[in-house]
Amino acid sequence: MSQPAVNRTMSAADWAMLLALSLLWGGSFFFVGLAVAELPTLTIVAARVVLAALILLVVIRLSGQQMPSGRRVWLAFFAMGFLNNVMPFSLIVWGQGHIASGLASILNATTPLATVVVAHFLTDDEKMTGGRLAGVLIGLAGVVLMIGTDALANLGTDVLAELACLGATLSYAFAGIFGRRFKRMGIPPLSTAAGQVTASALMLTPVALVLDRPWTLAAPGGATLAALVGLAALSTAAAYVLYFRILATAGTTNLLLVTFLIPVSAILLGVLVLGEALEPKHFVGMGLIGLGLAAIDGRPWRALAAAAARR
């Protein structure tokens, strides 16, 4: 499949955007934690993409831009929304209903591993290397350590739910590969983000209306409404603009390294906002994740090799 070339080694700007994206997505756990006290999951997911779509469409209008039109473009938006939101959200929601959240988080952290494999076969410029694979495995070990190895105790007890969570990681991997086409189509990240979440909203809203019947629920309180706005504006609208910007410059594999950084961001936000304490395993896990990211980036090792050669 013909794809636009990307930078395999990330620039400082790419790393900064990746860290910002991890903070935005890590914050989603905080917002969802507030919202689930009063609203069912599908209603939260639908409200998230509907509000995000409205925000992005208003931003596009105020900036004087126009959304792209044409059947081919919108078919691509719907395909991206299905791969990146509808399918993984549905699989994760169902899977987390049957297995512990810690195990689900670890399974979700295998996304970069799935991406390395998928990108190797479907792209010309993101082939698997020993350093990249080693970095992914080291980073995954760091996530497991941060969340707690005891979460693996029940691995294999509900295979279908575990396969559902792993299926979500594959869907994210294919979404990353598929999403590279928007750069080739000349669609900027803001419009791509708006198109994807709009398509996702059109697909997810009917499902939430049928299954949750939100009009029968009690009116949510102010904290829940604020959480929904934060989830939509920060963890979805702003996050997806960054997502497509990183995808266009750094590639699929580098982009989905954010999966390793999300647990770090979530834990640090818990410390800063909720007063939670950092444990020794968190520091060790963060160190392993940093080492894994360095191995994938490659520049630290090349610098060491160059320094050794000069001696």
- pLDDT tens digits for range 180-208: 999 889 999 999 999 999 999 999 999 99
CA quadruple 110, 188, 73, 59: dihedral sign: positive
Going from the C-alpha of 231 to that of each of 28, 145, 235, 271, 309, the distances in angstroms are: 6, 27, 5, 19, 50
Q: Following CA atoms 56, 61, 67, 69 in sequence, which dihedral angle do they give, to the nearest 10 degrees?
A: 130
Q: Where are the domains of the chain?
A: 12-310
Scored b (16 or more CB within 10 A) or e, 249-282 reads: bbbbbbbbbbbbbbbbbbbbbbeeeeeeeeeeeb
What is the longest distance spanned by two Cα atoms in the chain? Answer: 73
**122 phi and psi angles, rounded to 5 deg:** -110, 0
The two three-digit tokens of residue 261, written as one number: 């950084």
Distance CA 285, CA 139 (A): 8
The two three-digit tokens of residue 97, written as one number: 């209903």
pLDDT tens digits in sequence order for the chain, 311 residues long: 444 445 456 788 888 999 899 888 878 877 887 888 898 888 988 999 999 999 999 999 998 888 998 899 999 999 999 999 989 888 887 887 777 766 777 788 888 888 888 888 888 877 877 777 888 888 888 888 877 777 777 677 778 888 988 999 999 999 999 999 998 899 999 999 999 999 999 999 999 999 999 889 999 999 999 999 999 999 999 999 999 999 888 888 788 788 888 878 777 777 777 677 778 888 888 888 888 877 776 666 666 667 777 76
Cβ contact 120:260 at 8 Å: no
Is pTM beyond 0.75? Reply is yes
| DSSP state at residue 219 | P
Which ranges of the chain does DSSP label H, i.e. alpha helix? 12-35, 41-62, 71-81, 87-96, 101-108, 111-122, 130-147, 159-179, 181-184, 189-212, 222-232, 239-250, 252-255, 258-274, 280-297, 299-310
